[in-house]
Structure 1
Amino acid sequence: MPQQVNLSGSNSTDSDPSVFFLNGIPGLEAMHLWISVPFCSVFTVALLGNCTLLYVIKTEPSLQQPMFYFLAMLAVIDLVLSTTTMPKTLSIFWFNSREISFTACLVQMFFLHSFSIMESAVLLAMAFDRYVAICNPLRYTTILTNSVIAKIGLVALARAILLMVPLPFLLRTLPFCRSHVIAHCYCEHMAVVNLACANTRFNNIYGIIVTLSIVGLDLIFIALSYVKILRTVLSLASKEEQLKAFGTCVSHLCAILVVYTPVVLSSIVHRFGHQVAAHIHILLANFYLLFPPMMNPIVYGVKTKQIRDRVRLLFHRKCF
């Protein structure tokens, strides 16, 4: 039997919380052990898939190209997103280990949101990579040099850190004199803000502005890149050339759908699904964190011949 946690501290009147309690999936506590099976399976696939992807990109000379450097960045981000949340979530499901310190909660929140922002930036960089490869193929190697790729990565990291650094400091100024129980599997920003017994309008506005400015602007620039790519592809003489050019974008388009579809679904349900049960909101939020890290290496492994061949050779050596 899981060890029962004393939640008496959750109703403390102390405005300086040292401990919070993660509630897992509200309403489905009795099914936590069963729910952990798909969660653990997806987490394991995500870890194996992204680690394999990184190994293949590092060891295969033909993959030492800008597109695969960006893919390696995406794999690292997916690993961080998975390992930031899932170990604690599984400990809730398996051991009823709900307690988390306020500092650990803020650290988890910082990594979760900052690396989500970085993921969006890398998808934008990958769209730019496809734009240059199709619209300016002769200048591809001179535009996307290793130096430029490193700078893009550093800018993505700096943007994420600068936007997320204020969050922990803003939350530390809030008094938490009501419940310390977070109705979630992890420390999501708004789930923690909702526990504060003070005016949180600034936190809410800041969160909305960051979300709209990052996701909105990145999606607009990605869309613009693909408008230009589509024009270039349609101007090619033969159908074979068109299919070959557009085929190089299929993996990236799948990655965009894999990442942004759960975000859009979760946002729609959160904003308009007031009649939707709380556990649906939480399951969708977890789906958003689990699905992309699992699917990205699978999509690129299936769609990219160099990766597919290298993985097949790797497992062939292991087996024989």
Structure 2
Amino acid sequence: MVLSLNSTGTQVTEFLMICFPEMQATQHWLSIVLAPLLVLAIGANFVLLLAIRLEASLHEPMYYLLAILSFLDVILCLTVVPKVLLIFWFNMKHISFVGCFLQMFIMNTFLPMESSTFMVMAYDRYVAICHPLRYTSIITDQFVINAVIYIVFRNLLATLPTPVMAARLNYCASNVVENCICANISVARLSCDNIHLNKLYQFVSVWCLLGSDLVLILLSYCFILRAVVRLQSGGAATKALSTCGSHLILILFFYTLLLVFIFTNKLGKKVPAGVPILLNVLHHLIPPALNPIVYGVRTQEIKQGIIKLLKYQH
């Protein structure tokens, strides 16, 4: 434990992350799965971003939104997974006080940003299906800029208090975090102070941000399905649904994995301690690995852009 002296006694200056307390001898085997997924996630998102950047046909608002999603995925991946692998491979369990709360800030801010991006993408699909004649006048480059401003400031203002409140707590005892990452409650419970307000704020902010995004996404798809049902042509209905298929698959996976993590964490001692920890790590890794692949496979324009990019490199 690393402590410094101050007027109130001792103060923690760094934390020790032990990941899976019940699997210390075998947890390094998890890197066999995590390392390839990290390479896949970073590589696939990099290729997608490069294809959107270089292929003129992809310079449209829908693909700009997808580029924003890929950017957020890369940041979340690099914030969490490399440190986990360093713990597994080199036993580098120490993280500085500032580094821990910086990681907490990025995780708490960028995850809701990804949720908000899904919500904006759902609105994009709603306009494309329900108001196709007005699509180009509503979904413009300026719309994307406004959406980015909304996504950044809405989530930044709502989530910034979480790491700030946790950092201001008095850490005067243990510095051992029983987690692979600096999750808010995992760190805050090491404090000598009452953390009831920290728990309450995180609960309210998470459910307000992600909950409102999910409600708006579901509402958008209700309108989309109603419009599709009214289409008299079966071919037109199939085409309309196919344009939303990739987006809907990723939304369902993102929120399903997140809800499973939340409810598993709430069950406490009814599930093994390592399960919510592993789910938390995977939620920062699996969606980033899947997002560019699903869009690349199911979206013809992106597939063609990636093929052109690979041919150009050769």
Fold shared, TM-score > 0.5 on shorter chain: yes
Q: Structure 1 residues 14 and 48, CA, compared in 2 at 3 Å: closer, same or farther?
A: farther
Q: How far apart, in 2, do the equivalents of 1:80 and 1:48 lie?
A: 13
Q: CA deviation at 1:14?
A: 5.3
Matched, 1:238 2:233: yes
Matched, 1:214 2:212: no
Q: CA deviation at 1:165?
A: 1.9
Query: What pairs with 1:1-320 in structure 2 (closer than 5 Å)?
Result: 8-9=1-2, 16-318=11-313, 320=314
Stretches (4+) displaced over 6 A = none
Q: CA deviation at 1:314?
A: 3.0
| SS at structure 1 position matched to 2:193 | coil
> Which amino acid is the alignment partner of residue 270 of structure 1?
N
Q: CA deviation at 1:273?
A: 4.9
Q: Which sections of structure 2, spanning at least 5 residues, go unmatched?
A: none
Superposed CA offset, 1:244-297 (max 9, x none): 111100010011022111101111111125221111121111111111000001
| SS at structure 2 position matched to 1:249 | helix
CA contact (8 A) 1:258 1:291 kept: no
Q: Structure 1 residues 14 and 263, CA, compared in 2 at 3 Å: closer, same or farther?
A: farther
May I ask how many residue pairs the two structures share in their alignment? 311
| SS at structure 2 position matched to 1:16 | strand
Q: Structure 1 residues 14 and 306, CA, compared in 2 at 3 Å: closer, same or farther?
A: farther
CA contact (8 A) 1:15 1:175 kept: no
Q: How far apart, in 2, do the equivalents of 1:30 and 1:14 lie?
A: 35
Identity %: 38
Q: How far apart, in 2, do the equivalents of 1:179 and 1:203 lie?
A: 19
Q: CA deviation at 1:306?
A: 1.3
Superposed CA offset, 1:207-238 (max 9, x none): 00011101111110001101111111111111
> Which amino acid is the alignment partner of residue 236 of structure 2?
E
| SS at structure 1 position matched to 2:257 | helix
CA contact (8 A) 2:113 2:152 kept: yes
CA contact (8 A) 2:20 2:274 kept: yes
Q: How far apart, in 1, do the equivalents of 2:266 and 2:167 lie?
A: 26
Deviating more after overlay: 281-290 vs 40-49: 281-290
| SS at structure 1 position matched to 2:20 | coil
Q: Which sections of structure 1, spanning at least 5 residues, go unmatched?
A: 1-7
What's the TM-score, normalizing by structure 1?
A: 0.93
Q: How far apart, in 1, do the equivalents of 2:204 and 2:11 lie?
A: 27
Q: RMSD of aligned C-alpha atoms?
A: 1.6
CA contact (8 A) 1:132 1:140 kept: yes
> Which amino acid is the alignment partner of residue 98 of structure 1?
K
CA contact (8 A) 2:15 2:95 kept: yes
Deviating more after overlay: 20-29 vs 145-154: 20-29
Q: CA deviation at 1:315?
A: 3.0
Q: How far apart, in 1, do the equivalents of 2:187 and 2:250 lie?
A: 30
| SS at structure 2 position matched to 1:30 | coil
Deviating more after overlay: 58-67 vs 119-128: 58-67
| SS at structure 2 position matched to 1:177 | coil
Q: How far apart, in 2, do the equivalents of 1:51 and 1:148 lie?
A: 24
Q: How far apart, in 2, do the equivalents of 1:94 and 1:187 lie?
A: 19
Q: How far apart, in 2, do the equivalents of 1:274 and 1:168 lie?
A: 26
> Which amino acid is the alignment partner of residue 123 of structure 1?
F
Q: Structure 1 residues 159 and 105, CA, compared in 2 at 3 Å: closer, same or farther?
A: same
Q: How far apart, in 2, do the equivalents of 1:157 and 1:23 lie?
A: 32
Q: Structure 1 residues 25 and 290, CA, compared in 2 at 3 Å: closer, same or farther?
A: same
